[in-house]
Amino acid sequence: MIKIIPILPLLVMLFCSSLPKSKSDTTIKYVFAKSGLILRKKPELNSEPILTIPYGSKVLVSSDGPVGEKLEVESLNGYYRFVKFSENIGFIFDGFISTLIPPDSKLDDISHYFEKNYKKIKGPIQSSPNVDNSETKVYEIHYEKGIKLFTTVYLGGGYTRISIPNATINDGKLLLLTIYPKLKKVKFIKDKNSESFIVEIKDDTTGIEEYYDIRLIDTNLIISVGGET
């Protein structure tokens, strides 16, 4: 704490002075914490809270970068970041913020999430799958911001794959955990070979085996959601 405190006044001055002049100095992100995200006076868990930022709110994140040590909260990794919310400035844990739009609480399907929150540019169009199976169909939809959604349907199951430019693994986790709250009871396992994060669940009632996969390919976040009987 001794090392951090002396730079706080400087951070405040830089953030406040640059914010009105240039939006390039900040990034707009959304709060994904369902119960709200605490804005604190210092980048510490026990620091005095200023207020709680509601779920879905926009915050302006300073370009100065992370402060302090890396933290893990509810399986989400992150740091403290200096932000502005309304007329308040302080620090928040960035594991619960994302450039993606927070889902409505009633949404329970990732395809419906993109349909509701992003402008459709093209599709759905049916494309030819790279498999020799007449029962397999692939549908493709393009959304704004370069987002692409592919739905593959075959006998006994199917899956949806989404490509999101310039998003992070943490963005993918936040989105899946919010749309599918049951994933909070399990842990994303990192696959050593593919560098992806995977969750597999079997519904004992329906017998359906579900899987969720998050990975980065170049600068694109790839999210796959599927199920088989």
- Residue 67 CB partners (closer than 8 Å, separation 6+): 4, 11, 43, 79, 80, 81, 82, 91
Within 10 Å of residue 119's Cβ, how many Cβ atoms?
Answer: 9
Q: What is the pLDDT of residues 147-200, one digit of tens each?
A: 999 999 888 888 999 999 999 999 999 999 999 998 988 888 887 777 788 888
pLDDT value at residue 17:
46
Average pLDDT over the chain reads: 85
pLDDT at 79 over 90: yes
Is it true that domain 110-228 has CATH number 1.10.3680? Answer: no
Domain boundaries, the chain: 5-98, 110-228
CATH 2.30.30.40 fits 5-98, yes or no: yes
pLDDT digits 0-9 by tens, 115-150: 999 999 998 888 766 656 667 889 999 999 999 999
Least confident of 53-57, 127-131, 144-148, 203-207: 127-131
